[in-house]
Structure 1
Amino acid sequence: MMTETSVPVRRPARQLLAASVGNAVEWYDWYAYTFLATYIAGQVFPESSGNSLVPLLSTFAVFAVGFFMRPVGGLLMGAVADRHGRRAALTVTILLMGGSSLLVGLTPTYAAAGVLAPVVLVAARLLQGLSVGGEFAASTTFLVESAGPGRRGLFSSFQYVSTTIGQLTASGVAAALVSNLGEGQMESWGWRVPFLAGAALSLVGFWIRRGAQETLEPTGEHAGRPRPRLLDALRHHPRESLLICGITAGGTIAYYTWTSYLPTYAELNAGIDKADALLAGTLSLGFFALLQPLGGLLSDRFGRKPPLLFFGAGFALLAVPLLHTIGDSFASLLLVQCAGMVLLTGFTSISAAVNAEIFPARVRAAGIGFPYSLTVALFGGTAPYVGTLFTDLDHPGLFPWYVSAVCLVSALVYLRLPETAHQELER
């Protein structure tokens, strides 16, 4: 019987750098679009265009394309990682992100190119969504397979460390540009700078990843076994695929609520000043990044289930009181955000390890990538819109209960999970 085994990693620090730097660049590019969307819309989707296709393409580009393509990217790039190696997939995803970032930076204005402008932007967002979806699938397997004995949780934690660094960098670059350039400069060319810089950073990430060591090679007498097909993970491991969905649902809705939507929630429902809300969000993200390695180390020592249950039960019980505690002061919002980040770390710091420990190596990347990204699109990506919808319907108090209910479902899934922290990674 064929075995598939990880090659002993000679330089784990280099492996960690390759995954983390590339992931940070990926998320920098993704979040740069979010922070600068209003400037892009003014140039590419002008209200005065008089063309009915423009608002349609605007809606499609901003709300649908990115999250729709993430499950597709998870499946396709996961299959690349399983068929051709983790390093190959990681180099493809960062090149896709660099190319799409360059495309955004060079997108013509509507005044110069007409309807072609939003079409180019939609194409760029398609590529970005594909890249981000594939990045998680490939980097998750790469990180966990690169870890030494008893260090899978620690290595796993750097998935969200690097994601948060990318988000904070994009926010800082956008804020610096807005502060130092006039409104006219930002609208004419300033909004392009972060994307052009992101394309250049992608080349740096590509160079680092090219020097990384492949973590998976088939060995044994049946090394010529056919490579896995695109849907093999779903076909042969349906239970594990559903398990990934159950594990992820609560984590992703809590993550997007606390890291992306909470400042808006505080503005809409507690009347907090926008500048204070953004500052609290930034400080809590920095705190969140520092917590991740600690969460990973604790899971390597005490197992995966305790932190997962700490997160799931914590949010199921405390999401409602925490969100209702937010007042109109900066201190109250910062306290609620940091408290949520502590709970959230129980999931984020080890989600990569937990997911990787569910699937055998042969279909690990695709097995994780598709159900994970699909669940993120269904629950995480929609969290801000569900919260806003409840507010528009004059029932803002229902949103905390929605978050609590989804986290409770995941907590029940965690209860049934086998403990995998101290087992050999399945090959």
Structure 2
Amino acid sequence: MPTPAPHTRGSRAGAVLRVTSGNFLEQFDFFLFGFYATHISRVFFPAGSEFASLMLTFAVFGAGFLMRPLGAIILGAYIDEVGRRKGLIVTLSIMASGTILIACVPGYQTIGLLAPFLVLVGRLLQGFSAGAELGGVSVYLAEMATPGRKGFYTAWQSASQQIAIVVAALMGYGLNSWLSAGEIGAWGWRIPFFAGCIIVPFIFLLRRSLQETEAFQARTRRPAAREVYRTMLEHWRSVIAGMLLVAMTTTTFYLITIYTPTFGKSVLKLSTQASLVVTLLVGLSNFFWLPVGGLVSDRIGRRPVLLAITVLAILTSYPALSWLAASPSFERMLLVLLWLSFFFGMYNGAMVAALTEIMPEKIRVAGFSLAFSLATAVFGGFTPAISTYLIELTGDKAAPGYWLTFAAVCGFLSTLVLYHGRGAWSVAGKASGPMHSSR
């Protein structure tokens, strides 16, 4: 990949802000859907029991992730063909449409079955867009990174999402302080969604001023979408291995952010304020550890970081959640989730850069996006629903730890496979050639 031309520190910081702004909107809305799941379930998915209603809500939440692989293939190929800037404006447009739709749909009592159907459509639009958004942003950051700093730059893709978590948690805390539970359930939960709609024009302005990466401009030949599809089929092993690599990070993220408020309120019976404060602090913790993970992987390599964190997760995830479930409290919940936040930040900081490195150049966005989207669809997106089901099935409040442990095993094994016999690849930024070239 050609080395980008020199930029000032300020211009690079501005480029990071512009390209990651869409990630902020995506995660802001996703978090709101998870946090207000109990209210959304009553408004759009009334059922015979709270469990059934909540499961329907999380199923619709997860359905959006099933659209991610399709978005990754179609929009990812489009971005690889026309460029990062144009493609990311398209993904933002689709994402904004889904966000506005969910915010404005009347409840089931007003329009009947059309209400849950429209919410589902909004989630599908968001999922379709997000399928290529993450890949497009990550590849853009990787291509603009200074030599030896790719891990640090790509970490800001996910770091921007943590700002969204913090802002959403602060808004939720404010609403719970100013409004009664009845007011929040009736209409107050929509206020943060409308706030997300209001910032859409500002994010569009940021994205429109984005410059194309020099690495993409330097290409002498740009593959058509059909060629991108064919290349992805040829390198399906890289995509599957990449999916398993992402499993650990996407499962951990949705467990400690999207599912945390519901877990704290419905399972541990802690107060709404306590769950919100924990979520806010987890977002701040993620924001700290992500660039640290990227920097460490730039210094010692991706492989050592990925292996060390997955081993820690395998050994401690379920015991930590069991300790929390044995005597639920704000302090214990905070300590456990900060521990899981450390896992997520360090692993993801190394993983995103690694994933941009294992994909062939001509399908860098599409391949990255498909691997990430498949992992999110199979593992992360359904984490709230699977966690809810496991707790109901086993009666064990720590049961989500089983799911997280399984995801960590997938991450551990995929790291061993991807880096087996690849000495050059164990030192970040010094790869002698693309890993996909060998089976």
Q: Would the TM-score normalized by the shorter structure come out above 0.5?
A: yes
Residue 189 of structure 2 is aligned to residue 191 of structure 1: yes
**Alpha-carbon spacing, 1:135–1:225, altered in 2? closer, same or farther (3 Å):** closer
Tell me the equivalent position of 1:422.
429
Per-residue CA deviations over 1:154-182 (Å, capped at 9, x if unaligned) read: 11111221111112222322332343234
Q: In the alignment, is the contact (CA less than 8 A) between 2:73 and 2:370 conserved in 1? A: yes
Q: In the alignment, is the contact (CA less than 8 A) between 1:357 and 1:420 conserved in 2? A: no
In the alignment, the residues of structure 2 paired with residue 92 and residue 112 of structure 1 have an alpha-carbon distance, to the nearest angstrom, of 33
Cα distance, 1:272 vs structure 2:
5.2
In the alignment, the residues of structure 2 paired with residue 199 and residue 333 of structure 1 have an alpha-carbon distance, to the nearest angstrom, of 32
Tell me the equivalent position of 1:133.
131
In the alignment, the residues of structure 2 paired with residue 284 and residue 60 of structure 1 have an alpha-carbon distance, to the nearest angstrom, of 21
In the alignment, the residues of structure 1 paired with residue 66 and residue 380 of structure 2 have an alpha-carbon distance, to the nearest angstrom, of 12
In the alignment, the residues of structure 2 paired with residue 425 and residue 227 of structure 1 have an alpha-carbon distance, to the nearest angstrom, of 28
**Alpha-carbon spacing, 1:278–1:158, altered in 2? closer, same or farther (3 Å):** same
Compare 106-115 and 285-294 and name the one that shifted more.
Answer: 106-115
In the alignment, the residues of structure 1 paired with residue 32 and residue 371 of structure 2 have an alpha-carbon distance, to the nearest angstrom, of 26
In the alignment, the residues of structure 2 paired with residue 399 and residue 34 of structure 1 have an alpha-carbon distance, to the nearest angstrom, of 16
Tell me the equivalent position of 2:393.
393
In the alignment, the residues of structure 2 paired with residue 392 and residue 224 of structure 1 have an alpha-carbon distance, to the nearest angstrom, of 51
Match among 147, 150, 173 for residue 148 of structure 2: 150
Q: In the alignment, is the contact (CA less than 8 A) between 2:321 and 2:336 conserved in 1? A: yes
In the alignment, the residues of structure 1 paired with residue 182 and residue 339 of structure 2 have an alpha-carbon distance, to the nearest angstrom, of 40
Cα distance, 1:401 vs structure 2:
3.9
Unaligned stretches of 5+ in structure 1?
A: 49-54
Cα distance, 1:420 vs structure 2:
5.3
Alignment of 1:235-250 (within 5 A): 235-250=233-248
In the alignment, the residues of structure 2 paired with residue 57 and residue 313 of structure 1 have an alpha-carbon distance, to the nearest angstrom, of 31
In the alignment, the residues of structure 1 paired with residue 34 and residue 354 of structure 2 have an alpha-carbon distance, to the nearest angstrom, of 29
Q: In the alignment, is the contact (CA less than 8 A) between 1:61 and 1:125 conserved in 2? A: no
In the alignment, the residues of structure 1 paired with residue 262 and residue 106 of structure 2 have an alpha-carbon distance, to the nearest angstrom, of 31
In the alignment, the residues of structure 1 paired with residue 400 and residue 120 of structure 2 have an alpha-carbon distance, to the nearest angstrom, of 31
Unaligned stretches of 5+ in structure 2?
A: 420-424, 435-439
Cα distance, 1:273 vs structure 2:
5.3
Residue 415 of structure 2 is aligned to residue 408 of structure 1: no
RMSD across aligned positions (CA): 3.1
In the alignment, the residues of structure 2 paired with residue 32 and residue 399 of structure 1 have an alpha-carbon distance, to the nearest angstrom, of 21
Cα distance, 1:358 vs structure 2:
0.7
**Alpha-carbon spacing, 1:339–1:137, altered in 2? closer, same or farther (3 Å):** same
Query: What is the count of residue pairs matched by the alignment?
Result: 417
Alignment of 1:274-423 (within 5 A): 275-326=273-324, 327-394=327-394, 396=396, 399-416=400-417, 417=419, 418-419=425-426, 421-423=428-430
**Alpha-carbon spacing, 1:186–1:173, altered in 2? closer, same or farther (3 Å):** same
Cα distance, 1:89 vs structure 2:
1.8
Per-residue CA deviations over 1:103-156 (Å, capped at 9, x if unaligned) read: 222223444434333332222121111122221121111111111111111111
Tell me the equivalent position of 1:26.
26
Identity of aligned residues (%): 31
In the alignment, the residues of structure 2 paired with residue 34 and residue 425 of structure 1 have an alpha-carbon distance, to the nearest angstrom, of 43
Look up the equivalent residue of 1:129 and give its one-letter code.
G
Cα distance, 1:308 vs structure 2:
0.9
The DSSP-based 3-state class of the residue aligned with 2:358 is coil
Cα distance, 1:218 vs structure 2:
5.4
Q: In the alignment, is the contact (CA less than 8 A) between 2:55 and 2:388 conserved in 1? A: no
Look up the equivalent residue of 1:8 and give its one-letter code.
A
In the alignment, the residues of structure 2 paired with residue 304 and residue 315 of structure 1 have an alpha-carbon distance, to the nearest angstrom, of 17
Cα distance, 1:228 vs structure 2:
5.1
Tell me the equivalent position of 1:217.
216
